[in-house]
A and B are shown apart, each in its own frame.
Chain A
Amino acid sequence: MTRIPFSALLGIAATALFFLSAIFADLIAPYGMAEIVGGVWEPMSAKHWLGTDAIGRDLLSRIIFGGRTTIYVATMATILSFTLGSVLGFTAATIGGWVDQLLSRGVDLLMAIPSLILALVVLSVMPVTLTMLILVMGILDSTRVFRLSRAVAVDIAVMDFVEAARLRGEGTRWIIFREILPNALSPLVAELGLRFIFAVLFISTLSFLGLGVQPPLADWGGIVKENKEGLVYGVAAALVPAITIAVLAISVNLVADWVLNRTTSLKGGRGG
């Protein structure tokens, strides 16, 4: 193994911490998610490390439970967007012709509409549940993944080894999953981190606007929204989830950068 650079180690540690606290939220959080335990906007203390929120719930517990919702939604949406986007992208590149045209133009159509506005429209007519949020975000984000994976696969699909597989009589599925996918993996893995961060930002934005995760379920965008009036009175409660979003974004980016550097051939041709 090559030595992992310090920045990547930091990113991996922080990202792991976020995911662990999301998974074991029930065990870690000092109080319940919707439990009212104190006064309004109490300052930081030994009892409430980050103080309390607009209606007297423990802010640290809210952040931990909120992290669980945010990370869960973002992870599922990313998985959905990658599965959908890469399979369709590879299919378009491998089959080509009218299949490619149909898929690519469809994606162009979706991308032509700003995704936030499209999401707001869809969510205002559909019931807002976590599943619906994941579906909307996953499908909107899959257009970006589609573009990337199609571009990567088009380059691979013209290689002689793919032609050799076609001449052997292999089906489209073998060509996509056995010939193209393994060679397209490294740019996709790097993109995975970035798309995950966009998903976190997106769900937080939706919740802040009131169309995302619904109260009393906590999530980071929602916590900012609940506490934003506090800023007027000099209460920093709204900044805490904002900072956690930023820290998560930076740490995932550090990991993604490292993965990209390790696998890309642009930097001195070291990639494999």
Chain B
Amino acid sequence: MAETVLEIRGLKIEATTYPPGEPPVDIVIVEDISLSLEKGKVMGLIGESGAGKSTIGLSAMAYGRGGVRITGGEVLLNGRDILKSGARGLRGLRGREVTYVAQSAAAAFNPAKKLMEQVIEATLKHGLCSRSEAEARAVALFGKLGLPDPERIGNRYPHQVSGGQLQRVMTAMALCPEPSLVIFDEPTTALDVTTQIDVLAAIKDAIHATGVAALYITHDLAVVAQVSDEIRVLRGGQTVEHGTTREIIEAPRQDYTRALVSVRSIEHQPKPPADPVLAADGISARYRGTRFDVLSEVSVDIAAGHTLAIVGESGSGKSTLARVITGLLPPHSGEIRFNGRALRPSLPERSKTDLRELQMIYQMADVAMNPRQTVGTIIGRPLEFYFGLKGEARRKRVQDLLDQIEMGKGYIDRYPAELSGGQKQRVCIARALAADPSVIICDEVTSALDPLVADGILKLLLDLQAQQGVSYLFITHDLATVKAIADSIAVMYRGRVVRYGTKDQVLAPPFDDYTDLLLSSVPEMKLGWLENVIANRKMESAGN
């Protein structure tokens, strides 16, 4: 029996919310959570947003974020109840016995200090060893985490290394004091898929090499399956299911876990070929005042009623292509053709009909809707603007659209703040549909949503396409989404289309190196997937 590092018994966490115009209300965020973690083991905490996974993770440091209070239970770290430690006791404990790796390394590092200073800071503050010993430890960790030039990378500033490297430096920071427990809070969520697996592999190796216990918090079951020994599925602050990684992935007992495991099970039939409705022809574009082509010679077309997925990592130019097509960024060469005729390059020159035919759905539904307008106004405005619908006729059409997006009655007079994330995105879809467009550009529409909610949105988009024959230009970095929804695929890399064709062509070997890297980087719900991929890669990711 290995020694228990962390034991949580009957944890209860509460917070106070301030609903507008009403007296403050106390709500329970986490209730009756008990868990124990042995030395050298990794426990995955998984759940959707609001499941309480980060809150539980932070409670292992006896910390409550932003007004969150731990109101019941015990948190035993190496056998001591740290909730009773008091401020002085906690100061001696945090950064020494338990450390933390945050999601956004870019926001967590002090941009004005060199990396080495920050990595060894906690170790020195706690007087664990001398400066030279600490630096030696850090360099050893940099090497273990696969950072280039471990001897000298500590002399750089945070902005001088890539996002994936920074995340590994933060892991080094957490491991430097040789703690007994490390909390990883979504450490790879903000990274590109191709970078994510390198960081994931580095973190996994480092955990095993140092024998530290770890809590690994994430919303991505496929990721957690690669690093953890056991998994705890959380929902609404309570445990849904708990078991070894193999049990959870291969034989989930609860319906909710089963839904998480089988997510992205959407399939659609291949469609017969159709004439292109929208075509980009040799598009090159650059931002004003720069001499660098963000897009060079991009040619793709979208068939009527089909979905073209544009895939690539951040910086590949996929969102810029959307800006060019909508006319926000006129290209300096090439043209956009709609139903065979050329569209005017810039937005103000286009006719109202052309604007109507091309609609857009955004990644962040929260900021894509005016918070001071009701759902009725948001969806109703395109009806009024393009078709001159007014009064009762407009309201009726809005309700029809709400029915189409499966929201039904009772939403028309609500404000965006009164909707859930998935509902917000649905309203944005209804707003685009209201214009009765031929093409809808979907810019990462599911990447800010929880997996189950995202699945619902994708299903809705497919249904609407089947009913109305609308075409989608689907921009995403998520290949699982692409596999689910696309008819044809364009893979973009550094402003160029490196692979383009129907879904079957693009996803069938032989692959070019970049497509291979991209395809192989999508985490799969299989044990041992990570090791397999790392062993078989042909190309290093760009963000590495």
Contacts and interface: CB of A to CB of B under 8 A. Distances in A.
Interface of A: 1-2, 159-161, 163-164, 166-170, 178-179, 182-183, 268-270, 272
Given A160-B362, A168-B355, 4 more contacts: A159-B367, A160-B368, A168-B435, A182-B370
Contact of B371 (A1, A168, A183): A183
Interface of B: 18, 20-23, 67, 326-328, 347, 350, 352, 355-356, 358-360, 362, 364, 367-373, 381-382, 385, 417, 431, 435
B385 A170 contact: yes
B372 A183 contact: yes
A159 B362 CA distance: 11
27 contacts: A2-B21, A159-B367, A161-B370, A163-B328, A164-B360, A164-B362, A164-B368, A164-B431, A166-B347, A167-B326, A167-B327, A167-B347, A167-B355, A169-B350, A169-B355, A169-B356, A170-B385, A178-B370, A178-B373, A182-B372, A183-B370, A183-B371, A268-B18, A268-B67, A270-B20, A272-B371, A272-B417
A271 B359 CA distance: 32
A270 B367 contact: no
B442 to A, nearest CB: 13
B371 A169 contact: no
3 closest Cβ contacts across the A-B interface? A182-B372, A160-B368, A169-B355
Given A168-B381, A170-B385, A161 B368 contact: yes
User: Which of A1, A161, A170, A182 has the most C-beta atoms of chain B within 10 angstroms of its own C-beta?
Assistant: A161
Contact of B20 (A169, A179, A272): A272
Q: Is the interface of A mostly helix, strand, loop or mixed?
A: helix
Contacts of B359: 167
B385 A168 contact: yes
Contact of A167 (B22, B328, B369): B328
B21 A1 contact: yes
B21 A161 contact: no
B56 to A, nearest CB: 22
B438 to A, nearest CB: 15
Contacts of B355: 167-169
Given A1-B21, A272-B417, A167 B372 contact: no
A169 B354 CA distance: 10
Nearest to A272: B20
Contacts of B382: 168
A1 B350 CA distance: 47
Nearest to A156: B370
A164 B362 CA distance: 9
A3 B370 CA distance: 28
B417 A161 contact: no
B347 A161 contact: no
- Count chain A CB atoms within 10 A of each CB in B23, B358, B367 and give the residue with the most: B367
A57 B368 CA distance: 63
B364 A270 contact: no
A269 B360 CA distance: 30
Most chain A CB within a 10 A radius of its CB, from B350, B359, B372, B382: B372
A227 B301 CA distance: 83
Given A169-B385, A179-B370, A270 B18 contact: yes
A203 to B, nearest CB: 34
Nearest to A170: B385
Contacts of A164: 360, 362, 368, 431
Contacts of A1: 21
A164 B377 CA distance: 14
Contacts of B367: 159-161
A137 to B, nearest CB: 31
Contacts of A270: 18, 20
A247 B358 CA distance: 58
Contacts of B362: 160, 164
A56 B369 CA distance: 64
A43 B360 CA distance: 75
B370 A167 contact: no
Nearest to A180: B370
Nearest to A182: B372
Nearest to B358: A167
Contacts of B435: 168
A169 B352 contact: yes
A2 B362 CA distance: 35
A182 B371 CA distance: 9
A149 to B, nearest CB: 16
Nearest to B416: A161
A183 B372 CA distance: 7
A2 to B, nearest CB: 6
Contacts of B18: 268-270
A161 B431 CA distance: 11
A170 B364 CA distance: 21
Contacts of A167: 326-328, 347, 355, 358-360
